[in-house]
Amino acid sequence: MIRKSWQNRAMLKCLRSVPVGLLLGVLGVTSGCDVVWSPFLQTRELTCGNGVFCAQTSPVTSTLRAIWGADAQHIFAVGDNAAILHYDGTSWANRAPSGLGGRTLRSVWGCSASEVWAVGDAGTILKWDGSNWNVSTSGSTKDLYGVWCGSPTKVWAVGALGTILKFDGTSWLTETTTPSTTQTFHKVWGSQTSLWTVGAAGKVYSNSNYVGWVEETSGTTKSLFAIGGFDANSLYAVGSDAVIVKRGQGSPASWAGENSGVLNASSLQGVWGGSAQRIWVVGLMGAIAQWNGSMWTPRDAGVTAGLYGVWGSDSSHVWFVGENGTILYREE
């Protein structure tokens, strides 16, 4: 289990069943977390477990909009005011380079711990080489909302007005869709052989075998803000009015709507899958729902901050990021 400092009042829920002996410095087990108190009550540490959402200390208060990791010791989160956070398995630190002028970074994805890409406003693209973040010239001034890395020569970024860029290992090239569109693309996600990008007005385009982008029918006109899943057979897109659509496996492929049970969310902003039976979606107003293979179940993390990103090192260790620098961790 991963031990974290406890500094958030949301963690008070973990203390509701603390044994009296705990106040005397004796270790006790609550319903969902272990809380260790020093004899002088000056050191409080919490070990997450058993399905509890635990707050982690964030070095920023700006909104965090995306998260990705290579493993539990190499996790990256990006957001407003050029925030780029790195988690080393113990704590979060802001590693943003100078000169970004407070631009919003909206997506992060990597091929490994030493090759990570982040994109954002005005065509901003950054690459982490294992030690430093360096600017990569995109050749575009369009706002970029999504990035995905399949290999050092297969990296895609998407953004405003139908922008799709591909990095071939040397430079960024512009790609087009069939039919063409000026709708904004919000995120891009890929498997071993195919890519998908989603955006405004329910737009979904796929790129099979990396040969060209063609439109798929999403079954919705709602804006889609994120796409992800466990694999190509378990692929979801989420968006405004709590819409969730899942991709079918027919030819041509079709997407079908699902009810997440998160009806109080004005929009869902992120999706990630640890397995086909363990999919997470997050959204505004602290909305979280989990797919268990047969149904969606809302989860209460005890926060009202909007959540924009979710990622896990495996199906049992998951992080969530959002407004006000919010970082949550859940272990199962």
pLDDT in tens, the chain (332 residues): 454 433 333 333 343 333 333 332 332 223 334 333 333 333 334 456 788 999 999 999 999 999 999 999 999 999 999 999 999 999 999 999 888 989 999 999 999 999 999 999 999 999 999 999 999 999 999 999 999 999 999 999 999 999 999 999 999 999 999 999 999 999 999 988 899 999 999 999 999 998 999 999 999 999 999 999 999 889 999 999 999 999 987 777 789 998 877 766 679 999 999 999 999 999 999 999 999 999 999 999 999 999 999 999 999 999 999 999 999 999 98
Q: Compute the distance between CA of residue 242 and CA of residue 226 in angstroms, rounded to an integer.
A: 12
Same domain, 235 and 274: yes
Q: Compute the distance between CA of residue 18 and CA of residue 2 in angstroms, rounded to an integer.
A: 20
Report how many domains make up the chain.
Answer: 2
Whether the model pTM is above 0.85: yes
Same domain, 19 and 149: no
Same domain, 182 and 314: yes
Same domain, 233 and 273: yes
Q: Is 193 exposed, middle or buried (0-12, 13-18, 19+ CB in 10 A)?
A: exposed
Q: Is 197 exposed, middle or buried (0-12, 13-18, 19+ CB in 10 A)?
A: buried
Same domain, 133 and 195: yes
Same domain, 182 and 210: yes
Could you report the per-residue pLDDT of 237-292, keeping only the tens digit for each? 999 999 999 998 777 778 999 887 776 667 999 999 999 999 999 999 999 999 99
DSSP 193: S
Instruction: Give the residue carrying structure tokens 């030819």.
Output: 251
Q: Look up the domain containing 27 and give its range.
A: 3-48
CA atoms within 13 A on the CB side of 44: 15
Same domain, 61 and 152: yes
Residue 332 belongs to a domain? no
